[in-house]
Amino acid sequence: MKSLLAFSRAIDGLNTRIGRGLIWLVLAAVVISAVNAIVRKAFDVSSNAFLETQWYLFSAIFLLCSPYTLLRNEHIRIDVVAGRLSNRAQTWIDVFGTVFFLLPMALVITYLSWVVFMRSWNINEMSSNAGGLVIWPARLLVPVGFFLLALQGISQLIKLVAHLRGQGPDPNVRHDPAEAEKALAEAILRERGATK
């Protein structure tokens, strides 16, 4: 179990770095959106490349941060019934859901979307919009995102089993939402300190 937990920590570390790094894409998407709107209104000039860049950034945020969301237990849960059950029963529900729903879905989508990405890559697929972007980078986000989600599902499964065996903490403990804001504020302060 120790080696499995070490593997789980490595997956958690990878998805934490990716999730925290991609926080900045939210700012980039907002800035691009604002600049595009201002230029369009002020100068009556627009570009499909700006719009597609916003879509690509949103896709990257959504797909590549999903594993981080699962890691932090911030994903949507329907606790009408499960919330009334014991912690052990909730853990078993999560084990069942991970094994029979999350992992098969994530692996099937990874495989199927890889085929779509390879087709797009091979023909260097371009947007059908005038001034649009190359499409294959956006298509690559899907298999990468779902592969990382499958990895995080494996990590969560390892932690759930360890918890059931009394060899680890409860991975379903919710994190304080203010913690993410605090981490972002600290990163901004470090960034400012490094540029001075």
| Residue 81 pLDDT | 73
Structural domain for 31, as ranges: 2-75+86-195
Would you say residue 80 lies in a domain?
Answer: no
In a domain, 117, yes or no: yes
* 106 in a structural domain: yes
pLDDT at 165: 87
pLDDT digits (tens, 9 = 90+) for 112-159: 999 999 999 999 998 888 877 899 999 999 999 999 999 999 999 999
CA distance 22 to 2: 30
Is position 40 within any domain? yes
Scored b (16 or more CB within 10 A) or e, 14-37 reads: bbeebbeebeebeeebeebbeebe
The Cβ of residue 165 has, within 10 Å, a number of other Cβ atoms equal to 9
Decide if 12 is inside a domain.
Answer: yes
Query: Would residue 148 be called left, alpha or beta, if left means φ above 0 and alpha means ψ between -120 and 50 degrees?
Result: alpha
Beta bridge partners of 126: 134
Q: How many CB atoms lie within 10 A of CB 47?
A: 15
Give the total number of structural domains in the chain. Answer: 1
Lowest mean pLDDT among 7-16, 40-49, 54-63, 70-79: 70-79
